[in-house]
Amino acid sequence: MAAEPSRQIDLTPERRAQVLGIIRNRLPDARIWVYGSRARGRARRYSDLDLMLDDHGKTIPTRVMGDLDEDFDESNLPIIVDLHDMALTDARFLDRVRRDFLLLD
């Protein structure tokens, strides 16, 4: 899943730090992959941020995913963050988006 060195995540350093802080508060060791328009360099100002969370192959508890959704809803981020648990993601969908993956941290 190595990313192309020339690609960068379309997210300001401040927003990136805020997203990482919110996720690290609940999932300190998870790998966080960005995919979609913000990984492909096609994001518009208010494009959502698509994230695939990988907690070392373990399923992330529903409660934790719900808490993360709430944390993002309560944040001052002006974009929608769309979270997916890699352990629960359909293999066909994962294969389709994996080519875009860029590691957030």
Looking at the annotation, which residues are catalytic?
48, 50
- Centre a 10 Å sphere on the Cβ of residue 5 and count the other Cβ atoms it contains: 6
Q: How far apart are CA 88 and CA 105, in angstroms?
A: 22
3-state helix, strand, coil in the chain (%, to 5): 40, 20, 40
